[in-house]
């Protein structure tokens, strides 16, 4: 692995693993959920709030596509990289921009060299190639960079999948040869949709390139949940045992539990942060839809089992009022709660692996 990085598995339970990913910016206990900091901020949270227990986020994610378009590399490079720009001293993983280009931007052209697209912000024309994506991630200075891949939609036909796979492998090889920031690790991405044989074939191609870790991409992109889980069960545990395994962009608390059981170590998803802002709060019981009238006179916390500052301090009735009044404090309190719920959920599952079979 890249100097400064190492990964140790300290306990297993079936295919599930509890481990520690050592990085130059600190150790990350795995399984881990990474809050998504799309534009250099985990929306509504300060760096201090993210670091403070019980949330205690050990790593966050940044989006190459968004940061490249706004504020741009001149600004982030001028600040000395994303850690300094965002005042975040713990690890950062950046995606390659591929997923956003294929899902958000107006695609002009995909060819074997890269993708030409139009910005979702102002329609301006840009190009991403494996080399450009790695250069952006080098300037951002993330601890973990992701290879540039082509993620086809869940319902893509055979020919599109095969073309995307061939490109993703060729692009992974090119990413591997690119200059990196000091101490920057690179993860490969396994595509292949919901066809197990195709996934395993692509896994063999990507793992042969010897990356610092491996991700499963192209899941939860519109396919049936049963197919997502089948691929997880059939593929995740076959990824190299001595490298961290990352399931990109997934998902619900139940998805995380399923992924961990299948052998996944790292997750990211906008669900806890986005749902919080939209009024959906996760609890150890039923999910709370905060605007519901049932919360109008409910002076208890969102989740009596949650140790976050929101639950220790404020009632459902107060949060409902803030939400309906469109007070900005609502987004902050709700996000802190949902991220704390996800962090504790994954830590509980880790503790279960450490405790062993009963
Ligand atoms: Zn809470």
Any idea which residues carry the catalytic annotation?
Answer: 95, 268
Instruction: Tell me if residue 128 falls in helix, strand or coil.
Output: strand
Instruction: Please tell me whether the overall predicted TM-score, pTM, comes out greater than 0.85 for this model.
Output: yes
- What's the CA-to-centroid distance between 303 and ligand 1, angstroms? 6
DSSP conformational letter for 140: H
- What's the CA-to-centroid distance between 239 and ligand 1, angstroms? 35
Tokens 């039923």 sit at which residue?
286
- What's the CA-to-centroid distance between 314 and ligand 1, angstroms? 9
Tell me the percentage of the chain whose pLDDT exceeds 90: 91
- Tell me how far apart the alpha carbons of residues 77 and 67 are, in angstroms, rounded to a whole number: 11
Tokens 């055979």 sit at which residue?
158
- What's the CA-to-centroid distance between 309 and ligand 1, angstroms? 7
Instruction: Name the pairing type of β-strands 266-268 and 32-34.
Output: parallel
Helices of type H across the chain: 47-51, 64-69, 73-79, 82-86, 98-103, 130-140, 158-176, 196-207, 225-235, 253-262, 271-277, 309-313, 316-324, 328-355
- Tell me how far apart the alpha carbons of residues 22 and 243 are, in angstroms, rounded to a whole number: 11
Residue 256, pLDDT score: 98
Compute the average pLDDT of residues 231-243.
98
- What's the CA-to-centroid distance between 336 and ligand 1, angstroms? 7
Q: Which residues of 40-52 are buried (b: 16+ CB within 10 A; e: fewer)?
A: bebbbbebebbee
Confidence check: pLDDT of 107 > 80: no
- What's the CA-to-centroid distance between 55 and ligand 1, angstroms? 10
- Tell me how far apart the alpha carbons of residues 83 and 132 are, in angstroms, rounded to a whole number: 20
- What's the CA-to-centroid distance between 267 and ligand 1, angstroms? 20
Residue 109, pLDDT score: 87
- What's the CA-to-centroid distance between 344 and ligand 1, angstroms? 10
Condensed to tens digits (0 to 9), the pLDDT of residues 204-227 reads 999 999 999 999 999 988 889 999
Residue 100, pLDDT score: 87
Q: Which residues of 282-294 are buried (b: 16+ CB within 10 A; e: fewer)?
A: bbeeeebebeeee
What's the chain's Rg over C-alpha atoms? 20
Residue 104, pLDDT score: 79
Higher pLDDT, 103 or 58: 58
- Least confident range of 103-117, 264-278, 303-317, 330-344: 103-117
Contact present, 132 and 141 (Cβ < 8 Å): no
Condensed to tens digits (0 to 9), the pLDDT of residues 124-172 reads 999 999 999 999 999 999 999 999 999 887 778 899 999 999 999 999 9
Residue 106, pLDDT score: 78
Residue 222, pLDDT score: 85
Condensed to tens digits (0 to 9), the pLDDT of residues 305-335 reads 999 999 999 999 999 999 999 999 999 999 9
- Tell me how far apart the alpha carbons of residues 228 and 128 are, in angstroms, rounded to a whole number: 28
- What's the CA-to-centroid distance between 85 and ligand 1, angstroms? 29
Contact present, 59 and 92 (Cβ < 8 Å): yes
Residue 221, pLDDT score: 87
Contact present, 339 and 57 (Cβ < 8 Å): yes
């Amino acid at each position: 692995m890249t100097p400064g990085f190492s990964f140790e598995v300290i306990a297993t339970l079936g295919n599930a693993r509890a481990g520690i990913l050592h990085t130059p910016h600190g150790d990350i206990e795995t399984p881990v959920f990474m809050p998504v900091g799309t534009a250099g901020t985990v929306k509504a949270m300060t760096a201090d709030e993210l670091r403070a227990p019980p949330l205690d986020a050990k790593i966050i994610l940044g989006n190459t596509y968004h940061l490249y378009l706004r504020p741009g590399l001149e600004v982030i490079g001028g600040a000395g990289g994303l850690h300094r720009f965002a005042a975040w001293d713990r690890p950062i993983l950046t995606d390659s921009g591929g997923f956003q280009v294929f899902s958000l931007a107006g695609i002009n052209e995909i060819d074997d060299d890269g993708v030409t697209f139009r910005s979702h912000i102002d329609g301006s024309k840009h190009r991403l190639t494996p080399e450009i994506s790695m250069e952006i991630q080098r300037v951002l200075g993330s601890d973990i960079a992701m290879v540039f891949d082509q993620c086809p939609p869940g319902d893509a036909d055979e020919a599109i999948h095969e073309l995307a796979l061939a490109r993703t492998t060729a692009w992974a090889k090119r990413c591997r040869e690119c200059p990196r920031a000091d101490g920057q690790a690179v993860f490969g991405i396994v595509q292949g949709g919901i066809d197990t044989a195709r996934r395993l074939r692509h896994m063999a191609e990507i793992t042969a390139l010897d990356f610092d870790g491996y991700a499963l991409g192209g899941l939860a992109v519109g396919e049936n949940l049963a197919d997502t889980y089948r691929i997880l069960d059939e593929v995740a545990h076959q990824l190299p045992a001595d490298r961290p395994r990352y399931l990109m962009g997934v998902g619900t608390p139940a998805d995380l539990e399923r992924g961990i059981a299948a052998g996944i170590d790292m997750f990211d998803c906008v669900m806890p942060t986005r749902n919080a802002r939209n009024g959906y709060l996760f609890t150890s019981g039923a999910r709370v839809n905060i605007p519901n009238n049932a919360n109008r006179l409910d002076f208890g916390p969102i989740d009596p089992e949650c140790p976050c500052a929101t639950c220790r301090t404020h009632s459902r009735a107060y949060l409902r009022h803030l939400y309906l009044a469109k007070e900005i404090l609502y987004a902050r309190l709700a996000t802190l709660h949902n991220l704390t719920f996800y962090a504790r959920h994954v830590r509980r599952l880790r503790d279960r692996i450490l405790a062993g079979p009963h």
